[in-house]
Chains A and B, each alone.
Chain A
Amino acid sequence: EAGVAQSPRYKIIEKRQSVAFWCNPISGHATLYWYQQILGQGPKLLIQFQNNGVVDDSQLPKDRFSAERLKGVDSTLKIQPAKLEDSAVYLCASSLGSSGHEQFFGPGTRLTVL
Chain B
Amino acid sequence: AQSVTQPDIHITVSEGASLELRCNYSYGATPYLFWYVQSPGQGLQLLLKYFSGDTLVQGIKGFEAEFKRSQSSFNLRKPSVHWSDAAEYFCAVAPYGGSQGNLIFGKGTKLSVKP
Contacts and interface: CB of A to CB of B under 8 A. Distances in A.
Interface of A: 4, 31, 33, 40-45, 48, 55-56, 91, 93, 95, 97-108
A48 B90 contact: no
Contact of A42 (B90, B95, B99): B90
Nearest to B32: A100
Interface stretch (B12-20, B65-73, B74-82, B105-113): B105-113
17 contacts: A42-B4, A42-B90, A42-B106, A43-B44, A43-B105, A48-B102, A56-B100, A56-B102, A95-B101, A99-B32, A99-B97, A99-B98, A99-B99, A100-B51, A103-B103, A104-B46, A106-B43
Contacts of B46: 102-104
Q: DSSP class of B's interface residues: helix, strand, loop or mixed?
A: loop
Contact of B108 (A4, A42, A93, A102): A42
Contacts of A55: 99-100
B105 A99 contact: no
